[in-house]
Structure 1
Amino acid sequence: MLQSPNTRTRGSRQLWLDAALNLLATSGIDAVKIMPLAKSVGQTRTGFYWYFKDLSALHDAMIETWETRNTGQIQARCEAPAGTINQALFNLMDCWLSPELFDTRLDLAIRNWARNDPRLAARLHDADAARITAVRDMFLRYGYSPEQADVRSLTVIYTQIGYISLQVEENPAARLARVPHYVEMFSSRPPAPEEIAAFRGRHPVRPG
């Protein structure tokens, strides 16, 4: 579709949304206001209203983006083809090491926002439940009992929530080296060397 010449004077919906998400991640929801957003994208506030009815509509779009980007990716990785439970867990671990799959900063910002927004808190609860269900179903597919699948899924998701909430910072090489041990802890099965090699091949550690 051809864009109107006026598009350059009002930006694009994605431009405004990306700016809002970045402001949320860096400064919190109280900083997400129309004028600061307009300044950050080099537009006027009139351009904002071309794409969003009001600030509440922008908030809804931000939350929907987070649900798709983070919860949706966890569900997709849990459903990705894998020959063993450890391969499936390595697929899931891709999320924690690939910002293009899972936005950790956004997840933390949403959790902080939800502390003062009951409606969002309910959606966050539902999102965490959906993530747990996706991991539980993954364990069930590989023959774990319902009780084991339930506890292991809670352990996987709550471990990651802890990383996010505590804003843990690790040396990338050290974190990558720990992943096979997490996988063995979650599955109670040591990963095969070829499984570890395939995972590390997807996450090369850059020097320096």
Structure 2
Amino acid sequence: MSKPRLSQSDWIFAGFNALAELGPVALKAEVLARRIGSSKGSFYWHFTDVPSFHAAMMALWEQRAVTDVIDALAPLPDPRDRLRMLARLAQEKPTELDPNQPAESAIRAWARAAQLVRDTVDRVDSRRLEYLEALLAEAGVPPRPYARLIYATLIGLDDLPSVQGQPSNALVQLVNLILTQFPDPA
């Protein structure tokens, strides 16, 4: 019985899993191939080299971390509802939006040593902050400093569950607290 062929997505998700478990040293063709029981040839069928694999990982993460989230929230007409849903989605592990979402803390750690990853994280941070600022302004909340406060909380909370043992709903509570301080402009 032959094994099913691996897709490019299979390799990318294997890369995210390896990154979360072992760090960036595991993001090499031979290491990944052994890990998922395949050949390096399969890896090179989908990617010209390891840097192109890393670029594909970052492209997918950026798509799912920003564009897909914004698109999922777009149908909600009330900006306050979008802010609340954004906070809820951001705290769920795995997210409703993407059960295969990689651990962001692992990507941020990798960014300290890899320029491609750093550039992607910087772009994601910028896009997320712009979106948060626009949502807050639309909701009648001064965007600064609240966008940075919400975003810093999101980034910091990603590491707390492993320390505290349980995820918290602190981000949802923070968003609700901020929204109660400012009347709904509608």
Q: Return the TM-score normalized by structure 2.
A: 0.81
Aligned sequence identity (%): 25
1:43 pairs with one of 38, 41, 45: 38
Correspondence for 2:133 among 129, 133, 136: 136
1:30 counterpart residue number: 25
Give the Cα–Cα distance (whole angstroms) in 1 for the partners of residues 163 and 131 of structure 2.
24
Match of 2:76 in 1: 81
- How far residue 161 of structure 1 moved from its aligned partner, in angstroms, is 0.9
Specify which of 83, 92, 106 is matched with residue 109 of structure 1. Answer: 106
Residues 11-22 of structure 1: pairs in structure 2 closer than 5 A:
11-22=6-17
Check the 8 A contact 1:23/1:32 in 2, yes or no.
Answer: yes
Deviations 1:147-192 (A, max 9, x none): x1121111111111111245554535xx34x5653223222349xx
Q: 2:84 aligns with which of 90, 114, 118?
A: 90
Equivalenced residues, count: 177
Structure 1 unmatched runs, 5+: 1-5, 191-208
Q: 1:182 aligns with which of 151, 170, 174?
A: 174
Deviations 1:86-135 (A, max 9, x none): x2222112222252336775211111011112332222112101101111
Considering only CA atoms, is the larger Rg found in Structure 1 or Structure 2? 1
Deviation of 1:11 (Å): 2.0
TM-score (norm 1): 0.73
- Which one-letter code corresponds to 2:13 in the other structure? D
In the TM superposition, residue 18 of structure 1 has moved relative to its aligned partner by 1.2
Flag structure 2 segments of 5+ consecutive residues without an equivalent. Answer: none
State the 4+ residue runs in structure 1 displaced beyond 6 angstroms.
none
TM superposition shift of 1:76: 3.3
Please give the root-mean-square deviation of Cα atoms over the aligned residues, in Å.
Answer: 2.6
From the superposition, tell whether residues 89 and 15 of structure 1 become closer, same or farther in structure 2 (CA, over 3 Å): same
- For the 8 Å contact 1:34–1:48, the answer to whether it is kept is yes
Q: 1 or 2 for the larger relative contact order (CA 8 Å, sep ≥6)? A: 2
